[in-house]
Structure 1
């Protein structure tokens, strides 16, 4: 008899991104090609009876999820190549298999941070040799367990819009106070994009409302976290768009002509601290 998953709606979003990566891996021209995510999704469906089809994933969400993961992976790979003794902090990691995709040097310490219920799922389905931190990322205290004497790269994939108030910026302040120097990389939702997410069929299926976003990529420079914008990538202009299915590919290339419109889609922001 399958044992049902016990996740709250925000935690359940990890299944949405997991399934998006799984579907991408089965596409004729995958963007991320994460076959391990497909295997994890299949095991969860078999063990728990979870119906991934209810998430109603459209091609736009599958491709954007895969593309932002690929670009964030690139940030991590470059950083650990330059700093083989680095610390990697993956905030709200869910069931992501980023460690395996990035294959960091042996001297890297990797910390996967997520709710206790999610951490337990990772123990069952994602057996990576990383440090599991079972905590709400917004809670104070856990950041103090990170090494404070090594360069670090912080990744926040899909975390920003689901955190209330200024809790994300408070989390970033605590991390940059603990870590001596490094980079922060996230997919930066605008306020409109965060607001619009709650009307997306997949988000509506989980019964949650997105919350936070910011328009100006320089805004985090005013969070008192020592951040300096290093890069803004508008993913409508990424070369990987050539692998999008039609008509999504044509629509994306049309949107790419406008910087303002492109910012309402997926963008990757990278900061130094």
Structure 2
């Protein structure tokens, strides 16, 4: 029997978007499948929600699974190269990266989100071994200090999917500064909307029936290095450079004008200098 939840926070409700998109992608019986996520399929089948509002959001559908696969890849690479790796999923929602990563080695995982989200997560995905849940806000520092104290000799990789665009620019800067000041030698990956989305109040196609607002945008990842000198950019990726055939003509056009495309969305990666 499906279970229904009433979300108290409109941003928290957006966790169902990437979950649904991963489940849809996982059901594809095609060679061009981007991500396989049987657990996401099971979760969607057990949560009572009107997912049909996302069915026409084809750009978000592609974007969510491309981003998920890229972050999976970066986390897997980090785990394999570090002696004592720690991966922290900020704004985890019902993400299933722990289950998707094939080689966890001796990595410890942490999932951080608002209390109402962690409660739902615990209900549907009880804490696995070496994957720990934390109730907290990205704007708070206490959980950062506790993790640093608990793992003083480890390097950390932080992923934030569908998170940063809901915060104002000053908040984004503070978040990155707080991480960079505490976790030298680590890595940070997050997706952003571009300033054009903020200026025009245009939303991703999956958010057009949601009250959540896009509050910040970054088009050139180099600006973050000026905000937070401890950060060194390692990549700025266009979604349209992946699964090219599935983007069709629109993807071809976006790839021709990367600077313009970044005015709308991109994915950023940084190393935290030691």
The normalised TM-score by structure 2 is 0.88
Structure 2 residues not aligned, in runs of 5+: none
Aligned match of 1:173: 177
Tell me the SS of whatever aligns to 1:186. strand
- Deviations 1:10-66 (Å, cap 9, x if unpaired)? 000001111111111123442112222111111112xxxx22113454221101110
Aligned counterparts of 1:70 and 1:173: Cα–Cα separation in 2: 26
CA positional deviation for 1:116? 0.7
Are 2:58 and 1:59 aligned? Answer: yes
CA positional deviation for 1:200? 4.0
Aligned counterparts of 1:264 and 1:230: Cα–Cα separation in 2: 19
Aligned match of 1:229: 233
CA positional deviation for 1:241? 2.1
TM-aligned CA distance change 1:194 to 1:24, over 3 Å: farther
CA positional deviation for 1:89? 1.1
Contact 1:64 1:266 in 2 (8 A): no
Contact 2:238 2:266 in 1 (8 A): yes
Are 2:90 and 1:91 aligned? Answer: yes
TM-aligned CA distance change 1:33 to 1:250, over 3 Å: farther
Aligned counterparts of 2:97 and 2:200: Cα–Cα separation in 1: 27
Aligned counterparts of 2:218 and 2:88: Cα–Cα separation in 1: 22
Aligned match of 2:44: 41
- Deviations 1:201-253 (Å, cap 9, x if unpaired)? 53131222111111221111122361011122222122x223x1xxx422212
Aligned match of 1:19: 20
Aligned match of 2:213: 209
TM-aligned CA distance change 1:150 to 1:186, over 3 Å: same
Aligned counterparts of 1:39 and 1:186: Cα–Cα separation in 2: 26
TM-aligned CA distance change 1:77 to 1:138, over 3 Å: same
Aligned match of 1:108: 107
The normalised TM-score by structure 1 is 0.88
Contact 2:197 2:214 in 1 (8 A): no
Aligned counterparts of 1:145 and 1:104: Cα–Cα separation in 2: 26
Aligned counterparts of 1:10 and 1:172: Cα–Cα separation in 2: 20
Aligned counterparts of 1:104 and 1:219: Cα–Cα separation in 2: 34
Contact 1:56 1:201 in 2 (8 A): no
Are 2:31 and 1:32 aligned? Answer: no
Aligned counterparts of 1:79 and 1:34: Cα–Cα separation in 2: 21
CA positional deviation for 1:196? 5.6
Bigger mean CA deviation after superposition, 178-187 or 91-100: 178-187
Aligned match of 1:158: 162
TM-aligned CA distance change 1:199 to 1:262, over 3 Å: closer
Structure 1 residues not aligned, in runs of 5+: none
Aligned counterparts of 1:116 and 1:187: Cα–Cα separation in 2: 23
Counting matched residue pairs gives: 264
CA positional deviation for 1:78? 0.7
